[in-house]
Amino acid sequence: MARHAGAPAAPSLPRRILGFARRRAENVLAALLAAMFVAFLVQIFTRYVLNSPAGWTTEVSTLAWVWGILWGAALVLRDEEEIRFDIVYGVVPAAVRRVFDVVTGLSVVAVFGWSLPAVYDYVTFMRVERSTYLGIRFDWLYSIYLVFAVAMIVRHAMIAWRAATGRRHHTTRIP
């Protein structure tokens, strides 16, 4: 079937798969936010209406919040959506911004890469502990940090690579 002139090309299979995965990651994040909100409402109801606070709701809210923050930062947040202190970055020439991207990207990769073995040891060590109310093993609860750390290593390695090879050009300037 011929494509009409001016019609956009269909995204490649890898792009479609990544898009599908990103949407599912967003769904998980939305479910975590919903769980946190429902647990919060249940806590209010049990504490102030029934006068019998439910401890598990605090645990669910806390766990959903931590998982939501790290899951979102690792798998949902795009580079351009990150909050950055970019007063200097925005006013320097593109070549200097590329150097900044390489240096900061490699620094993040180094720090997370250096800490990864210790983080893995700690997470696996925590299999002996369980959460107070839900009885969930702590290694499962803390495993999201491993996902986050690996995602940060991959993301910032890609940022540094794109900057070093000239594939990432920031044209935004602060007036």
pLDDT tens digits, 61-97: 999 999 999 999 999 988 777 777 778 888 899 899 9
Residue 116 lies in a domain: yes
pTM recorded for the entire structure: 0.82
Could you tell me if residue 175 is inside a domain?
yes
What is the per-residue pLDDT across 12-24, written as a single tens digit (0 to 9) for each?
Answer: 888 899 899 999 9
Asked if residue 159 lies in contact with residue 101, where contact means CB atoms within 8 angstroms, the answer is yes
Share of the chain above pLDDT 70, in %: 91
Q: Is residue 114 located within the same domain as residue 88?
A: yes
Q: Is the pLDDT of residue 172 over 50?
A: no
Position 1 in a domain? no
Q: Are residues 62 and 109 in the same domain?
A: no
Do 103 and 161 lie in one domain? The reply is: yes
Residues 87 and 107 grouped into a single domain: yes
Residues 93 and 157 in one domain: yes
Among 60, 77, 94, residue at a domain's last position? 77
Q: Are the C-beta atoms of residues 36 and 68 closer than 8 Å to each other?
A: yes
Residue 10 lies in a domain: no
Report the share of the chain in percent with pLDDT over 90: 73
Distance, in Å, from the CA atom of 134 to the CA atom of 25, rounded to the nearest integer, reads 24
Match 């990432």 to its residue by tokens.
168
Instruction: Give the range of the structural domain holding residue 141, as residue numbers without chain letter.
Output: 81-175
d(Cα 110, Cα 108) in Å, to the nearest integer? 5
Q: Has residue 2 got a pLDDT over 80?
A: no
Residues 6+ apart with CB under 8 A from 163: 97, 98, 99, 101, 102, 105
Judgement on whether residues 54 and 124 belong to the same structural domain of the protein:
no
| Cα–Cα distance, 89 to 100 (Å, whole number) | 8
Q: What is the pLDDT of residue 105?
A: 94
